[in-house]
Amino acid sequence: MSKILDSIQTPADLRRMSRSDLPGLAREVREFVLNTVSQTGGHLGSNLGTVELTVALHYVFNTPHDRIVWDVGHQTYPHKVLTGRRERMHTLRQLGGIAGFPRRDESEYDTFATGHSSTSISAALGMALAAKQKGEDRKAIAVIGDGSMTAGMAFEALNNAGVPHAGVNADILVILNDNDMSISPPVGALNKHLARLMSGNFYAAAREGVKGVLKAAPPLFELARRFEEHAKGMVVPGTIFEEFGFNYVGPIDGHDLDALIPTLENLRNKKGPQFLHVVTKKGYGYKMAEADPVKYHAASGRFNPAEGFPKSSGGKPTFTQVFGQWLCDMAEADERLVGITPAMREGSGMVEFHKRFPRRYHDVGIAEQHAVTFAAGLACEGLKPVVAIYSTFLQRAYDQLVHDVALQNLPVVFALDRAGIVGADGPTHAGVYDIAFIRCIPNCALLAPSDENECRQALTTAYRRDQPVAVRYPRGSGCGAEIETGLGEWEWGKGVVRREGQRIAILAFGTLLHPALAAAEKLGATVVDMRFVKPMDEALVLEMARRHEAIVTVEEGCVMGGAGSAVLECLAAAGVTTPVLQLGIPDRFTEHGDPNKLLSMMGLDAEGIEASIVKRFASRPALAAVNG
Ligand SMILES: Cc1ncc(C[n+]2csc(CCOP(=O)(O)OP(=O)(O)O)c2C)c(N)n1
Ligand SMILES: CC(=O)[C@@H](O)[C@H](O)COP(=O)(O)O
Ligand SMILES: [Mg+2]
């Protein structure tokens, strides 16, 4: 029963509370979040780890007037609970329900939509300088995790924030939420720097000293003096953040409200770029999550908090698992293979590969741009890099794909997981643009396998090419095709007719082949598994256009610039006027929700495909004849 929490509708209520009630409130928020996620699924470890920080931030700062920007935003469930959305949290990540990330159109307290990491400092800097330009007295706070701090964009922002802009200092506070975790254990030199800051006697003394020092909550200069007292005789570590022009404070215990609140109150009154380093534990307050923060990063569905996450029920292999197995098999067969992930080892299915081939495994941190150009460098030296990257996250490395890989025609394989609708993570994670943004790049090839075995073969086909090749496949499992163990490949550039029909030919690119086959059964249509977006089997397209009254293209990607557009371009170039119906993701952002429901809403299930075809061609002799 949430006694204190029930009295909180907005942070203004929180700010009227007595400080002595805040630890109790934090306990209730943590319990509420755990119980919610146990019913809805969603991100867990990062949310449990930011409860006290969230309470302290809304207690000290005048939100929403003061802006809080949450990096990635996967840790904002406590924030949403405390900003008037508690009653709707049971709809988390469901269609029409509360989003799993901050959204400006969901709440005025969600100052910036996040989802892709490392954007918070840039956004907060914009808000801080806008306030200065408009003469508004407003703080902008970026809360960024240690994993997200490994992305170049975060350093671009630090570099820009730490110096005056035309003589104007930004009143920005960057809070580094350092839990020594990304999704996997963190990597890179920054992690070592942070560890040094935490492991020095300074932090230990500060943890002790802070309790005494902060009781009276002296002004910051007094606080600093007393820190100095405690730090006397110790090497107070210089930090990279001070080199960027920030006043660095910390590290302090991010679960101790007696440390957080006075420190934040002092920093609130400080002008110019401030940097607070808080140390938290991912999964704090829930023993199973504390013990295994990798596993408890997110819950895929319901679980009993008393028992923890249920054992995975096995079932059909996911495309991710098919990739992970293929990667190990191909690495076994070819010592030139190296596997690269930008901080998504588990999500991309590379845990086994890391175990078996540690020297050929590279987790580069949340650094997609670096991952792609790093792969290019490896390829220059004759190795065969495979970059495992979610379709949506490849968007961040577009210039590197064009300039560093394609322009030099380097043999890099891009395993594009989460291509298409992803579901609960919503629009920020939908992988629906890769067909459009890859097919227009010279030298690049793009393969769209329709099932798990096709995916394995597509990966082998891609790997054996001497050019950049991307293979796109969706989140989750497919139709459950039998998967070979060999390393067979496709005939390059060739599609395959899967169903002979009449009057109408459906050209499917990827896993939507299966609803297309079902629709074709009702319509008597031909169905082609095109396999290749680029190089597309143009001879087959022209043959289909000549042999049928109408062409339908189906893809789980944006219609604009997608594979259907490639078919149109092919027909136009050949002067063929067969009408074409393009089915795919419409020109609007997708919502969060059940992926099958979302596909059905877009008319991309069997019924929808059939209905679209009937609607478009009902008046044409083609269909009339087919409908008999
Ligand atoms: C550009 C981008 N790449 C990858 C991800 C996937 N991702 C989400 S959270 C996360 C780890 C973030 O670590 P950290 O910032 O330390 O937050 P924590 O989970 O530890 O609270 C990653 C890699 C992402 N959201 N955005
Ligand atoms: C917050 C974030 O970006 C990741 O945790 C992402 O939600 C993972 O997505 P999957 O669940 O599809 O691996
Ligand atoms: Mg972290």
d(CA 532, CA 512): 14
Give the 3-state DSSP-derived string for 357-388, with helices as H, strands as E and coil as C. CHHHEEECCCCHHHHHHHHHHHHHCCCEEEEE
- Measuring from each residue's beta carbon to the nearest atom of ligand 2, which residues come in under 6 Å? 72, 74, 183, 298, 347, 418, 422, 425, 475
CB 519 within 8 A of CB 525: yes
Is residue 117 a known part of a binding site? yes
Q: Candidates 46, 119, 417, 429: which one to mutate for ligand 2, based on the most atoms within 8 Å of Cβ?
A: 429
For the packed helices 606-617 and 513-523, what is the interaxial angle rounded to 10 degrees? 50
The per-residue pLDDT for range 234-290, each reduced to its tens digit, is 445 578 999 999 999 999 999 999 999 999 999 999 999 999 999 999 999 999 999
Task: Report the pLDDT value the prediction gives residue 312, as an integer from 0 to 100.
Answer: 84
Closest residue CA from atom 7 of ligand 2: 425
Instruction: List the Cα angle 604/609/613 in 5-degree steps.
Output: 145
Q: Which residues are catalytic?
A: 282, 368, 396
The per-residue pLDDT for range 573-608, each reduced to its tens digit, is 999 999 999 999 999 999 999 999 999 999 999 999
The residue among 9, 24, 12, 130 whose CA lies nearest residue 69 is 130
Q: Candidates 119, 300, 425, 594: which one to mutate for ligand 2, based on the most atoms within 8 Å of Cβ?
A: 425
Which tops the pLDDT comparison, 232 or 155? 155
Q: How sure is the predictor about 219, in pLDDT bands with cuts at 50, 70 and 90? A: very low
d(CA 507, CA 544): 9
What is the distance in A from the centroid of ligand 3 to the CA of 173? 18
Instruction: List the Cα angle 575/581/582 in 5-degree steps.
Output: 105
What average pLDDT does range 430-453 have in this prediction? 98
Does any ligand 1 atom lie closer than 6 A to the CB of residue 148? yes
Which residue in the block uniquely carries the two structure tokens 């291509």? 419
What is the distance in A from the centroid of ligand 2 to the CA of 213? 40
Is residue 74 a known part of a binding site? yes
Stated length of the chain: 628
Which residue in the block uniquely carries the two structure tokens 């930090």? 239
d(CA 571, CA 567): 6
Mean pLDDT of the chain: 94
Task: Report the pLDDT value the prediction gives residue 193, as an integer from 0 to 100.
Answer: 93
Q: CB count, 10 Å around CB of 478?
A: 23
Q: Which atom of ligand 1 is nearest to the CA of 181?
A: 20
What average pLDDT does range 388-411 have in this prediction? 98
Does any ligand 1 atom lie closer than 6 A to the CB of residue 38? no
Query: Picking from 6-10, 165-169, 389-393, which range would have the lowest pLDDT averaged per residue?
Result: 165-169
Which ligand does the CA of 363 lie closest to? 1
The sheet that has 67-70: what strands, in order across it? 67-70, 140-145, 172-178, 274-279, 247-253
Does any ligand 1 atom lie closer than 6 A to the CB of residue 72? yes
Q: How sure is the predictor about 623, in pLDDT bands with cuts at 50, 70 and 90? A: low
What average pLDDT does range 323-337 have in this prediction? 98
DSSP state of 421: -
Q: Report how far apart, in Å, the C-alpha atoms of 540 and of each of 229, 451, 499 are.
A: 78, 21, 14
Q: Which atom of ligand 1 is nearest to the CA of 429?
A: 25
d(CA 581, CA 277): 55
Alpha helices (H) in 42-111, listed in sequence order: 45-48, 51-60, 77-80
Is residue 179 a known part of a binding site? yes
The per-residue pLDDT for range 68-109, each reduced to its tens digit, is 999 999 999 999 999 999 999 999 999 999 999 999 999 999
Which residues have C-beta under 5 Å from ligand 3, the single-atom ion? 145-147, 179, 181
ipTM score:
0.99
Whole-prediction pTM: 0.94
Question: What is the DSSP code string of 469-538?
Answer: EEEE--SSB-S-----SS---PPTT--EEEE--SSEEEEEESTTHHHHHHHHHHHT-EEEE--EEES--H
Residue 491 has pLDDT above 80, yes or no: yes
Give the 3-state DSSP-derived string for 306-319, with helices as H, strands as E and coil as C. CCECCCCCCCCCEH
